[in-house]
Chains A and B, each alone.
Chain A
Amino acid sequence: MILSVIFQFVMAYIATICFGVILNIPHQAFNSVGLIGGVSWAFYWVLSHNFGIGIAFGNLAAALLISVLSMYAARYKKMPVIIFNIPSLVSFVPGGQAYKMVRNFAIGNPDLAWSYFMQVVVIAGAIAMGFALGELYHQVGIYNHLRVLKRR
């Protein structure tokens, strides 16, 4: 169990960095991006395999984790948040489902196509919701508190 979690972590780490190369992120950010992507994928994997949590809540939780971690990373590395949260998403984005949806439409399987379409909408919505919650966390949390203190 622990071994397979570590395996998933390593795989997602590699995938995230590779996607970062394709999106041309600055090379100073590689390690942090990989860690964020790996940790959040391993988290999602544990949630869905050990607790049987479905795609909607699993993606929401993972996106929330990505969002929170990447804001800390952004403050630590002094780079915009978008550098950390977009590459980390690579293992979550509904690309495979989007492709299957179009394929099933094209070969005349509208029922299956609609079910994939629903999955795409649910996953994209859950990720966006998770990001929104992460931003909320940061605005409500310690950060704002410190800023108020600094202004005095």
Chain B
Amino acid sequence: MTNQEKQIDVINACLLAGRILVENGSEISRAADTMQRIAKNAGMKSVQLFVTVTGIMLSVNNHPNAQVAGIDHRTIDLDKVARVNELSREFAVGKIELSQMVDRLSEIDNNTPTFPFWIKFLAAGLLSAVLLIVFTHEYVDAPAGFVIGAVWYAVFYFFNRMFKVQFISEFFASIVIGIMAALAVKFGVGTYLDNLIIGGVMPLVPGVPITNAVRDTVAGNLISGPARAVEACLSAVAIGSGIVCVLHFL
């Protein structure tokens, strides 16, 4: 393998690893660190990185071209982050070759198993019910909270597959949740409308993105942190306005 080919392999592996990490909810500093490590373990001393939440730039010293990878959607899938980390560790101790790296990475990107939908559905419901009890110290609303949380997740999941735009799916899912909570209170299944709604939206409310935004900003990523904050605010606005639409008609 010539030096040129090796450089291309390293660049591809780094970009793919960084893209998977940022797409699936890793902090920017972790993504940059992993890319730096892969390059260093492949024998490339000096690599320049510029990682943001919407794209990655990478250039190797003494190499005329810089490479760019765009990132157009972000979710949280921590299994992929764990696998990329594992792979980078295996590469560091020399268990796998550089040429296998790109294949393994794209396998992670496409074929990482997720939990079946019904388990996620039950988990979302249970999460809503449990958080409802923890936050409000009321048990009466827990069953209704379970149903609302689970249905909200299902609606969100379905819309997200259809529209591919997170904010729209959040908006519609929140309308559903508002209607369900209002109905539950009307028919006496639930007692406190506000508690039901808060418990219901809890599984996907952007608390983690907000926290991540602050963490990125504190770590010195002054482009990515505020960008993430804007994204989190948009989700909060989408969720809130969906519910307000329903409350308006009560």
Contact = CB atoms under 8 A, between A and B. Distances in A.
A94 B123 contact: no
B208 to A, nearest CB: 6
Contact of B197 (A20, A24, A80, A99): A99
B53 interface: no
7 contacts: A18-B123, A22-B123, A22-B203, A79-B86, A96-B202, A99-B240, A132-B215
Contacts of B197: 99
A93 B203 CA distance: 11
B154 interface: no
A12 B131 CA distance: 8
A101 B241 CA distance: 11
Contacts of B131: 15, 90-91
Interface string B63-84: 0000000000000111111100
B14 interface: no
A26 to B, nearest CB: 5
A15 B239 contact: no
Given A18-B126, A103-B243, A26 B79 contact: yes
Interface string B190-222: 000000011001111111101101110110000
A82 B26 contact: yes
B136 to A, nearest CB: 10
B164 interface: no
Nearest to B85: A80
What 3 pairs between A and B have smallest CB-CB spacing? A93-B207, A102-B240, A95-B205
A92 B210 CA distance: 12
Interface range on chain B: under 10, 10 to 19, 20 to 34, or 35 or more? 35 or more
**Centre residue among A8, A78, A80, A132 by max chain B CB count within 10 A:** A80
A127 interface: yes
A87 B237 CA distance: 23
A106 B30 contact: no
A93 B210 CA distance: 8
A124 B210 CA distance: 7
Given A89-B207, A93-B210, A95-B202, A102 B241 contact: yes
A117 B211 CA distance: 14
B193 to A, nearest CB: 11
Contact of B130 (A18, A20, A98): A18
A80 B240 contact: no
Interface in A12-31: 12, 14-15, 17-26
Given A96-B202, A99-B239, A14 B244 contact: no
A95 B205 CA distance: 5
B208 A89 contact: yes
Interface of A: 8, 11-12, 14-15, 17-26, 41, 78-80, 82-83, 86-87, 89-96, 98-103, 105-107, 120, 124-125, 127-129, 131-132
Interface of B: 25-27, 30, 76-82, 85-86, 89, 114-115, 119-120, 123-124, 126-127, 130-131, 133-135, 153, 197-198, 201-208, 210-211, 213-215, 217-218, 232, 236-237, 239-241, 243-244, 247
By DSSP majority rule, is chain B's interface helix, strand, loop, or mixed?
helix
A39 B69 CA distance: 40
A103 B240 contact: yes
Contacts of B236: 98-99, 101-102
Contacts of A89: 207-208, 211
Contacts of A94: 207, 210
Contact of A82 (B30, B124, B127, B202): B30
Of A86, A87, A96, A107, chain B has the most CB atoms within 10 Å of the CB of A96
A21 B76 CA distance: 11
Contact of B244 (A20, A92, A107): A107
Contact of B247 (A25, A41, A93, A107): A107
